[in-house]
Amino acid sequence: MNIQSLEFHEIEGDAPVFTCNTCGKCGAAKGWRMADIPIGDQADTVSIVVCSVACERAFKAHPMATEYVNDLLARVHGMRGGV
């Protein structure tokens, strides 16, 4: 997965409480940013959520970001029974 190609978009409307995947901040996610990553048949997605553009940049620049996303996808794949 090319982390640099992740497209983050601003979360709008009523949003639940999320934890930033970069800094760990918890809060209502309105105005936060999210990137959806297709899984399986690409009808479903997993999301990376960050609290700011600065955390988006930091996530994309982190040397372990690709490994983190690949591990996340493998865990989701395993929970879905390999589907």
**pLDDT 10s digits, 33-45:** 999 998 877 678 8
Mean pLDDT of the region 57-73: 94
pLDDT band at 10 (very low <50, low <70, confident <90, very high): very high
Mutual orientation of helices 53-61 and 65-79 as an angle, nearest 10°?
90
User: For the CA atoms of 26, 68, 9, 41, what is the dihedral angle to 10 degrees?
Assistant: -120
Mean pLDDT of the region 50-74: 94
Cα 81 to Cα 83: distance, rounded to the nearest angstrom: 5
pTM to 2 decimal places: 0.82
Is the pLDDT score of 15 beyond 90? no
Helix and strand element counts for the chain (H, E): 2, 5
Of 61, 32, 56, 36, the closest CA to residue 46 belongs to 36
